[in-house]
Chain A
């Protein structure tokens, strides 16, 4: 496990003492009660691929290391499997806190190494805004073009097509204007700076 270091000579990372308050207020979830028992990190199925373990993210929020948290891979790799929340002795809702951190990162245009996941979410929601439902082929096509990853899964895609698992044409829901109203009310126009 990597060690969190702060205040090293030459390290100009800003510490934001209000960051923990902001995350608590935006998520509506308590996080200062974490005493770092590491149950979340031990049980997390994806921690092996993360740059910081889940409890380290909480620790860095507590310490106000805003930039390091918001540019981490961890917040994007969290699969919201709820194992951590289920086992936390202090009932800290980590999946919701991870969502809040992602939302703050998006609204401030902060990038991480997991750009493809950010693109996936954007393309997915564009598809929902357009049709009301997911059309897997449109999603895959846009994702492949935008991530320049054209050939991965081609063989699997053909197999799925042959098994009748891929619809060529999307279907649009009738009252798509209601989805447009939802996106206008809660999506793009609601972006705010922290």
Chain B
């Protein structure tokens, strides 16, 4: 299956392990990801915090380029995904903005394709039955808490994905790859997002609450689907935190792929945990 793909800026930087494991796992699952040619930053927090129109225009350029590919779009970053879903709605409602973007890009936006987060594609397009069949290295003995963060699921009118307060997609994926999914209270708490570089004190406090809740639930690690969530929980907790995985890293490992190229990029080293459970046996 072919999909248009928007990796987002961080997948080639701080979230390189997410980018590498996404490519590897999708290839194993028969998903062909075709990067949007010449994509740009979605505008992120700084775009929409500064100017409503600029924020949507930066995202709109990518949507217009994606539409030319004639495929459904998959987005790996939670924040980029949320921006695109919002801009898709705005472009369809705001004819003036759409017209201005047409003048710049040469084509108007019609939006006849689906925009989905990668977690949605893996769980609901590929499907958990297919994944269960392809798992060759079930992650037995690994106790995880699923951390969804904010904007993959919120607000539902925009994301059209899973439940806002009690999402289940990643819980089910954890079970499908053979690990144990624990219930806990902080599934959809906020990590502080882009305040990470400006108000470290706030992000540290939020990361401490979330990671401590995970520990209290009995987790050995956290599994997430957002580059900012991963970075904040991995980097802002301090010593003796929990390893924080992207769901694609553990999916790849369970599918029998050697994950060393991405697993050794974490700040909180996950390799001792994985080795102690004898899970590092990919090809």
Contact B202 A77 (CB under 8 A): yes
The CA of A183 and the CA of B201, in the complex, are separated in Å by 32
The CA of A190 and the CA of B55, in the complex, are separated in Å by 13
Q: How many residues of B contact A (CB 8 A)?
A: 57
Contact B155 A85 (CB under 8 A): yes
The CA of A160 and the CA of B44, in the complex, are separated in Å by 22
Cβ–Cβ < 8 Å partners of B51 in chain A: 103, 106, 186-187, 190
Among the interface residues A102, A125, A183, which one has the most CB atoms of the partner chain B within 10 A?
Answer: A125
Given contacts A86-B155, A117-B198, A128-B41, contact A99 B193 (CB under 8 A): no
Contact A165 B154 (CB under 8 A): no
The reply on A134 being an interface residue by CB < 8 A is yes
Q: B48 touches which one: A49, A99, A122, A132 (CB < 8 A)? A: A99
Residue of B nearest to A76 (CB): B49
Cβ–Cβ < 8 Å partners of B206 in chain A: 45-46
1/0 contact trace for B47-82 toward A, CB 8 Å? 111111111011001000000000000000000000
The stretch that binds B, out of A16-24, A59-67, A170-178, is A170-178
1/0 contact trace for B67-102 toward A, CB 8 Å? 000000000000000000000000000000000100
The CA of A87 and the CA of B55, in the complex, are separated in Å by 25
The stretch that binds A, out of B117-125, B247-255, B259-267, is B259-267
Contact A133 B104 (CB under 8 A): no
Cβ–Cβ < 8 Å partners of A31 in chain B: none
Cβ–Cβ < 8 Å partners of B46 in chain A: 120-122, 124-125, 128
Q: A46 touches which one: B47, B52, B104, B190 (CB < 8 A)? A: B190
Q: A99 touches which one: B9, B52, B100, B104 (CB < 8 A)? A: B52
The CA of A181 and the CA of B54, in the complex, are separated in Å by 11
The reply on B136 being an interface residue by CB < 8 A is no
1/0 contact trace for A68-112 toward B, CB 8 Å? 000000000101111101100000000000011011001000000
Cβ of B12 to closest chain A Cβ, rounded Å: 7
Cβ–Cβ < 8 Å partners of B143 in chain A: none
Q: A178 touches which one: B45, B49, B61, B205 (CB < 8 A)? A: B61
The reply on A148 being an interface residue by CB < 8 A is no
Interface of A (DSSP majority class): helix
The reply on A167 being an interface residue by CB < 8 A is yes
Cβ–Cβ < 8 Å partners of B154 in chain A: 81-83, 85-86
Q: How many residues of A contact B (CB 8 A)?
A: 60
The reply on B1 being an interface residue by CB < 8 A is no
Cβ of A138 to closest chain B Cβ, rounded Å: 11
Cβ–Cβ < 8 Å partners of A173 in chain B: 38-40
Q: A182 touches which one: B15, B57, B267 (CB < 8 A)? A: B57
Given contacts A99-B48, A121-B46, A143-B197, contact A182 B265 (CB under 8 A): no
The reply on B14 being an interface residue by CB < 8 A is yes
The reply on B215 being an interface residue by CB < 8 A is no
Contact A49 B202 (CB under 8 A): yes
Contact A136 B13 (CB under 8 A): yes
Given contacts A49-B202, A186-B54, contact A160 B193 (CB under 8 A): no
Given contacts A45-B189, A85-B155, A163-B265, contact A186 B57 (CB under 8 A): yes
The reply on A159 being an interface residue by CB < 8 A is yes
Cβ–Cβ < 8 Å partners of B47 in chain A: 125, 128
Extra contacts, 6 of them, besides A45-B189, A79-B192 (Cβ < 8 A), are A82-B150, A120-B194, A152-B200, A178-B105, A182-B104, A186-B53
